[in-house]
Amino acid sequence: MLIKRTKSWRLSENDVTPEAVYLDRRRFMTGAGALVGAAALVGTGALQAATDRSLKTLPHAKTAFDPGETPTPYDAVTNYNNFYEFGTGKGDPSENAWRLQVAPWSVRVDGMVDKPGTYALEDLIDYNALEERIYRLRCVEAWSMVIPWIGVPLSSVLKKYGPQSGAKYVAFETLADKDQMPGVKSFFNVLDWPYREGLRMDEAMNELAFLAVGLYGKELPNQNGAPIRLVVPWKYGFKSIKSIVRIHFTDTEPKTSWNVSAPKEYGFYSNVNPTVNHPRWSQASERRIGEFGKRKTLMFNGYEEQVAHMYDGMDLKRYY
Ligand code: MTE
């Protein structure tokens, strides 16, 4: 993401390292390690361990949610990330997120809900009901990927806890632990931790809203938001909050991290919209990771049919 606060953080969209450059550098490091002997191999080993915590295969059902586009290679999905709790560079999460302890994991469910409590991940997620969803992910920074997620519909989890009729929104929080997350410990506080996100209740109940526990058939790597993250494919990627520890039902629009940090740049809704530009760059097109050139950005990221009705009559320029 792009930070405005201090000069050194003031990146433009074009300053972000292109993934080809980043991934090539990484490949070069791996190749060099193989050649120059034991010391370098130790370094390479550490890099591998950082990215590939032994990840269990997750049995899952295939579903109809497939845009019919080539999935972004695993190496890019798991090494080109935004997870500011582990640093602001695209390679920081895959290098640093091995520190995250993902088991045991529990999630606090509270607010306007009949069954509040702190639930173990295994209670929250029915591992016998996992399905795959191949979704486009469009980052507000104007790059995109296609990712085969494994998880369950968000609505199936929320309904279990009995949201009350007064609950109009659902808010989410990420773990914020200085001991495990160098970005949270950092003196340069990029965001006001914990990372927070939220959805209107009808958005949360939409069939596309998804809680992912895996990708490419296996558990989520830490850098992708293990052990549980949100995936909201018609909204900019920052709505898809990682490593969730709290789900809160409320009657008021919840505060969200990027909106608090730069309200003129990042709205609560943040629906992908090629006709509403970011104040500092166009949102009309995007760079699909792994492709040359640019492709046009689609309204609601191509999910218009499933979601447009939720915004009937709303001025999407005002509610960006
Ligand atoms: N969640 C948390 N907790 N912290 C973050 O920095 N970054 C967001 C989102 N979720 C972020 C987060 C942004 S900007 C994007 S584009 C996506 O995660 C990226 O997900 P990926 O790294 O798995 O591709």
pLDDT the model gives residue 134: 98
Going from the Cα of 41 to the center of ligand 1, the distance in angstroms, rounded, reads 30
What CATH number did the domain enclosing 178 receive?
A: 3.90.420.10
Going from the Cα of 243 to the center of ligand 1, the distance in angstroms, rounded, reads 10
Q: Is position 94 within any domain?
A: no
Average pLDDT value over all residues in the chain: 88
Q: Is position 263 within any domain?
A: yes
User: Is the pTM above the cut of 0.85?
Assistant: yes
Phi, psi dihedral angles at 229 (to 5 degrees): -140, 165
Going from the Cα of 36 to the center of ligand 1, the distance in angstroms, rounded, reads 35
Which of 312, 253, 249 shows the shortest CA–CA distance to 114? 249
Residue 49 has pLDDT above 60, yes or no: no
pLDDT the model gives residue 40: 34
Q: Is position 300 within any domain?
A: yes
Residue 41 has pLDDT above 90, yes or no: no
Which atom, in ligand 1's list, is nearest to the CA of 147?
Answer: 24
Contact 238, 278 (CB under 8 A): no
Integer-rounded Cα radius of gyration of the chain: 19
Number of domains in the chain: 1
Residue 72 has pLDDT above 50, yes or no: yes
Residue 20 has pLDDT above 50, yes or no: yes
pLDDT the model gives residue 4: 47
Q: Which helix (H) or strand (E) holds 136?
A: strand 131-138
Q: Is position 267 within any domain?
A: yes
Q: Is position 205 within any domain?
A: yes
Contact 281, 13 (CB under 8 A): yes
Domain that holds residue 250: 61-72+101-311
Indicate the range of 2-16, 229-243, 254-268 predicted with least confidence: 2-16
- Residue for token digits 């959805």? 199
DSSP state of 110: E
Q: Which residues contact 229 (CB under 8 A, 6 or more apart)?
A: 211, 212, 220, 240, 241, 242, 243, 244
pLDDT the model gives residue 242: 99
Predicted confidence (pLDDT) per residue in 103-161, tens digit: 999 999 999 999 999 999 999 999 999 999 999 999 999 999 999 999 999 999 999 99
Q: Is position 273 within any domain?
A: yes
Residue 37 has pLDDT above 70, yes or no: no
Predicted confidence (pLDDT) per residue in 215-246, tens digit: 999 999 999 999 999 999 999 999 999 999 99
Q: Per the structure block, which two tokens stand in for 188? A: 């340069």
